[in-house]
């Protein structure tokens, strides 16, 4: 995938003004390699179409990574500074973008109105992940999909113990992030069926990228 500019090559202003970007402000890892999404961001968004809701703005650069079949991006971000940063990117894209102030516990989006919801390093930071996932399920259309890129508790008991020990300090530095959270189990408990999940290590912490749909 490349920057979505209505089917044309990325114009000079995008090549010059968009740097690596970040998934979330509290997790400053790149979303782009030049004009191409990183492998993780590419897998997260591959094949999306229709109206997509993403939770958390980062610095907005990730908006430029969406595929051309996405007809509208809705971005929910409570921080006014990050909303403004995202608007600076959104105004230069061909895909319509709506940037809304809102909470993970009360998304300002109508029931069943989104073809997909993207959660990137958000569920690991939610203080009430069950309620957050209930909101995600509420706004998804029938057969809509949750795309997630999150921390995932290690399957190794010794590593899990280490993750739990560092969580109080890590959470202070990374926006409340809980690296020992069993995100896959939380998604299943919230009434989703996990259709795919790829685990990988990043900076010694286990992560997972996957797709889930509401059960039933």
Neighbours of 171 (CB within 10 A): 17
- The answer for 125, left when phi > 0, alpha when psi is -120 to 50, beta otherwise, is alpha
| Cα 88 from Cα 80, distance rounded (Å) | 13
User: Domains of the chain by range and CATH?
Assistant: 12-214 (3.40.50.150)
Using CB atoms within 10 A of its CB, is residue 190 exposed (0-12), middle (13-18) or buried (19+)?
A: buried
Query: pLDDT 10s digit of each residue in the chain, 216 long?
Result: 333 433 333 444 344 345 688 888 777 788 998 889 999 999 999 999 999 999 999 999 999 999 999 999 999 999 999 999 999 999 999 999 999 999 999 999 999 999 999 999 999 888 899 999 999 999 999 999 999 999 887 666 665 555 665 655 555 555 556 666 789 999 999 999 999 999 887 766 788 999 999 997
Neighbours of 106 (CB within 10 A): 10
Give the model confidence (pLDDT) of 74-95 as tens digits: 999 999 999 999 999 999 999 9
What is the pTM (predicted TM-score) of this model?
Answer: 0.83
The 10 Å Cβ neighbour count of residue 180 is 21
Q: Report how far residue 176's alpha carbon sits from residue 140's, in angstroms, rounded to the nearest whole number.
A: 26
Asked whether the beta carbons of 136 and 146 are under 8 A apart, the reply is yes
Task: Output the CA–CA distances (angstroms, integers) from residue 99 to 22, 73, 76, 134, 200, in the order listed.
Answer: 17, 8, 6, 21, 31
């Amino acid at each position: 995938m490349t920057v979505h500019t209505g089917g044309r090559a990325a114009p000079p202003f995008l090549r010059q003004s968009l740097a690596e970007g970040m998934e979330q402000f509290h997790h400053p890892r790149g979303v782009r390699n030049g004009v191409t999404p990183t492998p993780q961001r590419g897998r997260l968004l591959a094949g999306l179409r229709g109206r997509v809701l993403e939770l958390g703005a980062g610095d907005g650069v990730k908006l430029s990574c969406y595929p051309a079949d996405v007809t509208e991006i809705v971005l929910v971000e409570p921080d006014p500074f990050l909303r403004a940063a995202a608007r600076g990117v959104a105004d230069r894209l061909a895909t319509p973008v709506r940037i809304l102030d809102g909470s993970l516990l009360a998304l300002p989006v109508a029931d069943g109105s989104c073809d997909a919801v993207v959660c990137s390093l958000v569920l690991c930071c939610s203080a009430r992940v069950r309620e957050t996932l209930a909101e995600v399920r509420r706004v998804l259309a029938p057969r809509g999909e949750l795309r997630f890129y999150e921390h995932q508790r290690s399957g190794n008991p010794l590593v899990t113990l280490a993750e739990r020990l560092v969580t109080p300090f890590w959470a202070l530095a990374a926006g409340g992030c809980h690296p020992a959270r069993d995100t896959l189990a939380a998604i299943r408990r919230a009434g989703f069926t996990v259709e795919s999940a790829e685990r990988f290590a990043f900076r010694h912490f286990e992560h997972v990228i996957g797709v889930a749909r509401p059960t039933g």
